Amino acid sequence: MLVSLLLVERLTNRIILLKEGAEKVSAGDYSFKLAPKGNDEIDDLTKTFNKMTVELKTMRAELENQNIQLEKKVDERTKELIAAKEFSESVISTAASLVVGVDKEGDIFLANSAFIDIIGYSNDELVGSNLFGYFDHDASGDSFRGFILDDNIGAAHFDCVLRTKKHGRRTISWEAAVITDEEGEKLVISIGQDITERIRLQENLRERRKEIETFLYSVSHDLKNPTISLIGLLDMFEQDSLKDIDDNGRFYLDRIKANAGTINELLSGLLEVSRIGKGKETKTLIDTHDLINNIIKENELLIREKKIDVHVDNNMPAIRFSKIRLYQVFSNLIKNAIKFTQLNVEPEIRIGGDETETEYLFYIFDNGIGIDEEYHATIFEMFSRLMEKEVEGTGIGLTIVQRIIKDNGGRVWLKSRKGEGTTFYVALPKEVDI
């Protein structure tokens, strides 16, 4: 009986030690260690407990190290975010463009220096005020307002008029985009450019162009009748006095007639330039292959004389256009190709066309004298002529081509090098009913 009691007491004490050890370990004291007392199940439990304590100590050390590294990374990232925020705020504040941020009601929470300068109010006055209050109440301002209030639009472009404190009404071109804050609320950041001066210059240019075109029309129209009369009088003089004119007189008469003809051609060209874009022109579906072949036939004598090999692509698209204007475009470009052949080269002209999803594209290639790259920017200007070869012409043909194409929303350009031929390209949009 006494032995049993001693055995129970011994087991109880060892269990109590295990309990105390568990409490110390749970409190974070991983240095606690139990000493084995024998070779029984309690000793096995003691060894397992000691092993667990070592593993927990190791795990705790690893966790503390990971926590230190994590805190270090968080600190570094926080510093990076703060630096990025400060940099962004600095960029926004000093940007030359106008920057303004509003909430979903249009109330301003951000305005950079450029916006403050042009609007004429302080940052304190602007923040919290409503952006719509600075807009002119026109269609553009209403569109901008609608964008800010609409939850379904992510980005948009607007031109609208701002009423400023110091600079009157200014037209601003805005690029606006939607973002969300930390709470998921809609915000709109808008970046703007003051285009007031640009619009004024564009209006001035339009007025000047209108004045020039009116002047061209007036001068060319008023001078054309006297020029035609002069040509007629020269013909009458030639018929009546043919037998009385010697070779010297014939030479000068021919010179006068040629110059009068050039003046008449020049005035006709000026009249055409002044008429482009004026009034509604009839558009029909045109087979460009047939149109170009007709132009080739009209110039057949000169083509044969120069022995030019002309090839027209059979797969040319049909387009809706003014037949007169399209004839002028291709006629001028083809006549240019015929004129500017070069010596010691068998002349050839290649004409083709194709279409993409968005436009019709035509080309006119010749292996003639070519155009030096320094003249590519000026070749379409009025009275611009190549000096490399003496040919007839007024220097207006390519101006007419460019005016017609641009007036119909298209593009015309060239690729050429001196001595290597020239290719003119004409692109006309499909989406515009031309």
pLDDT single digits (tens) 196-243: 888 888 887 777 766 666 666 555 555 656 666 766 776 777 677 666
The residue-averaged pLDDT of 57-84 equals: 71
Which of 99-108, 122-131, 132-141 has the lowest average pLDDT? 132-141
Question: Residue length, the chain?
Answer: 434
The pLDDT of residue 161 is 85
What is 284-429's CATH number?
Answer: 3.30.565.10
Contact between residue 360 and residue 319 where contact means Cβ atoms under 8 Å apart: yes
- pLDDT of residue 41 exceeding 60, the answer is yes
Mean per-residue pLDDT of the chain = 76
Q: What percent of the chain has pLDDT over 90?
A: 7
Structure letter (DSSP) for residue 36: P
Nearest one of 351, 364, 365, 360 to 408, comparing CA atoms: 360
- Position 352 pLDDT exceeds 70: yes
Highest CATH level, class, for 95-194: alpha beta
Give me the pLDDT at residue 278, please. Answer: 60
What pLDDT sits at residue 432? Answer: 46
164 φ, ψ (degrees, to nearest 5): -100, 165
Neighbours of 219 (CB within 10 A): 14
End-to-end CA separation in angstroms for the chain = 119
Out of 63-77, 137-151, 327-341, give the one with best mean pLDDT.
Answer: 327-341
Residue 433, Ramachandran bin (φ over 0: left; ψ between -120 and 50: alpha; else beta) = beta
Residue 433 scores a pLDDT above 50:
no
Highest mean pLDDT out of 131-140, 207-216, 403-412? 403-412
Rounded to whole angstroms, the Cα distance separating 284 from 322 reads: 6
Task: State the pLDDT at residue 392.
Answer: 56
For the ranges 57-71, 79-93, 267-281, 326-340, the lowest mean pLDDT is seen at: 79-93
Whole-number pLDDT of residue 281: 67
Task: Please enumerate, as own/partner, the contacts of 179-184 that have beta carbons within 8 Å and a separation of 24 or more.
Answer: none
Of 39-43, 162-166, 364-368, 395-399, the least confident:
39-43
Give the pLDDT confidence score for residue 189 in this predicted structure. Answer: 86
The domain segmentation of the chain, as residue ranges, is 2-76, 95-194, 201-275, 284-429
Q: Cα–Cα distances in Å, from 123 out to 108, 109, 148, 164?
A: 10, 10, 21, 14
Q: How do residues 253-289 score in pLDDT, each as one tens digit?
A: 777 766 666 666 666 656 665 566 565 667 788 899 9
296 has pLDDT over 60 = yes
Lowest mean pLDDT among 89-93, 329-333, 362-366: 89-93
Which candidate, 400, 380, 394, places its Cα nearest to that of 273?
400
The answer, yes or no, to whether residue 420 has pLDDT greater than 80, is yes
pLDDT at position 289 is 92
Q: What gap in Å lies between CA 114 and CA 100, rounded to an integer?
A: 10
Q: Which residue has the higher pLDDT, 353 or 77?
A: 353
Residues 6+ apart with CB under 8 A from 83: none
Higher-scoring residue by pLDDT: 330, 263: 330
As a whole number of angstroms, the distance between CA 397 and CA 381 comes to 10
pLDDT of residue 4: 56
Task: Assign 153 a pLDDT band (cuts: 50, 70, 90).
Answer: low
Fold equal for 95-194 and 284-429: no
